Every structure is written in structure tokens, then in C-alpha cells.
Amino acid sequence: MEIKSLACEIPSSLGLPFSRLSSADIAREAVLRGIVLAISVATVWRYLSSDSIKPWMHRSWLFPRDPFFGEKAAVVLDLYFRVFQGIPLGTDDYVVSSDEKTSIQARHRKVLGSGPRPKQARLVEFEYERRGALAYLTAWDVHRAKLFGICAQTTGIESFRRLVDLVMGQEPYRSARRVFWITDNGSSHRGEASIERLALWYPNAIQIHTPVHASWLNQVEIFFSILQRKVLTPNDFANLGVLENAILRFQDLYNQIAQPFGWKYTKDDLKKTLSRIHAQGALTDCRSLAA
């Protein structure tokens, strides 16, 4: 247990100039601290490899720092379950999740690769030439499983306006009672100015911002992960025209088979998550737990 406790420590708190602890580091430190007279690296590895503690592993995480994180996130979660301000949405209300996938590069491989063979994976040339980059702006109808998207040289208010026009210029959105646009806080659609601007463009459009550092709440990000796996990896496109064509063709194909994502994360789950983070000391304002 002392060895496992040592493995849980952050190296800097131990006065060690490491970013993470290896089994050898733990074995040496255990002897220096008098926990054991001697212990092999293999023994430390055996202790930890059979346990849930893996000090050599890590993952990146953005801790929520918005004091009203819970309140803002709850609005988004309610919309996913077709509720707004405690009232169920009507049949002429729609929820659209929107975002941009930026700086998608066209990397032209210098040598033609080969397909997979028995006991050999597909080969993709490591070296490539950069043939430019574009942005893919996307809107996802959460409940109708309908995808809209455009490619642009850059993001910005005008590019976002093009996407909004694409969606709101057609039925059923044009004559809908309300169309809720869920977006993050990117520069293309940030703050109260963006909310007012969207309402000016289309009076039945209501913009809802996710909290800062909450891209995981935006359902369109799920589609972006699918696009990354199915189209953009490995990246081998002769030019931006080929890249754009591949993205839009996949968009058309996806619309033929798309179904609403099976979203199960609720406000109760959110409260549990924020309570756990609060217990870790990452949140200092109890208002963040309000939902």
C-alpha cells in the first residue's frame, strides 16, 4: 500500500524533477524513504500493472472555471431532451448543434501508398507536401439527424452567416416557431453580440452558448470524430478541391444513414460530475453546481 500511495504522488510534490514516475523511479524513491530495504523494478511493475493505478499514464483535461457552468450546461442538456425553461418543446421547435472544424490540411503524400496485405497493415508514406487548409462549418439537427455543412477558407462571422442561411433558408426551419442554435464561444459566434446578431438575421433563431471548456456538450463534435476517423485519417489529398469534395461527399452519404445520437447524459449526471470536480478543488464557487 505504501508503494501504491507513492505512485499516486505528483513528482513535483516529491521534489523530483520528473513529469511522471516510472517503476524504476518509484523503486528508488521507496528505498530512499525507508519504505522498504530493497525492491526490484519488476516487483513495483507487478504491483501497479495489476492495480488501477498507472502513474506512467495521463490524459489532458480542461477543468470548468465558469462559475455558472452548471446552469449553462443544464440548458443545453434540457434541449437535448426537448425541454426549454421547464416546458417541453413543440413539434415546430428544432435544436441545431453547430461548430467549426478548423485548419483541416490537405497533405499530399510524396510516394503512393499501398493497401493492406496478409500480416501487413496498409502503408502510408510519412513525408508529405502541404497543399493548404480549410475549415468545415457544420450544423447538426439533433432530433431529426440532419446534417448541413459548408467548407470555407477561414472561419468568421460571414462564414457562420453562410451556414445559418443554408439551414434557416429552407423548411422546416424557415417557418419554425423556434430554432435553437447550440454553439461554443468561438470568435465566429461569441457573446451577447452574436445572440443579438443571430436574432436579427432570423427572428425565430435562438442562440444558446455552451459553457467555456465544454465542447463535449456539443453533439456535432461526435460527428467531427466520425469524420476524422472515416475521411481525414490518414490524410492524403492532392489539393483543397479534392479535400473539400471528400468532406462534402461523406456529408451526403452520412445524411442517408444518419440517426439521432443516443445521448444519455442528463442534468443528474452533470451534478455528479461537478460535485466530483468540486471535491477535487477544481471549482471554488458552489454556484457552478446549480442546475
Report residue 104: phi and psi, to 5°.
-80, 115
Task: Indicate the pTM of the whole model.
Answer: 0.82
Report residue 128: phi and psi, to 5°.
-150, 165
CA-based nearest residue to 97, from 30, 180, 202, 1 = 180
CATH number for the domain running over 69-257: 3.30.420.10
pLDDT value of position 162: 97
β-pairing, 205-209 vs 178-183, is: parallel
pLDDT value of position 281: 61
pLDDT value of position 288: 41
pLDDT value of position 21: 85
pLDDT value of position 291: 41
Which positions ≥6 away from 86 have C-beta within 8 Å? none
CA distance 13 to 4: 16
Return the domain boundaries, the chain. Answer: 2-49, 69-257
DSSP state of 34: T
CA-based nearest residue to 113, from 237, 9, 260, 223 = 237
pLDDT value of position 138: 98
CA distance 178 to 205: 6
Low-confidence residues of the chain, pLDDT below 70?
A: 280-291
CA-based nearest residue to 273, from 214, 209, 224, 186 = 214
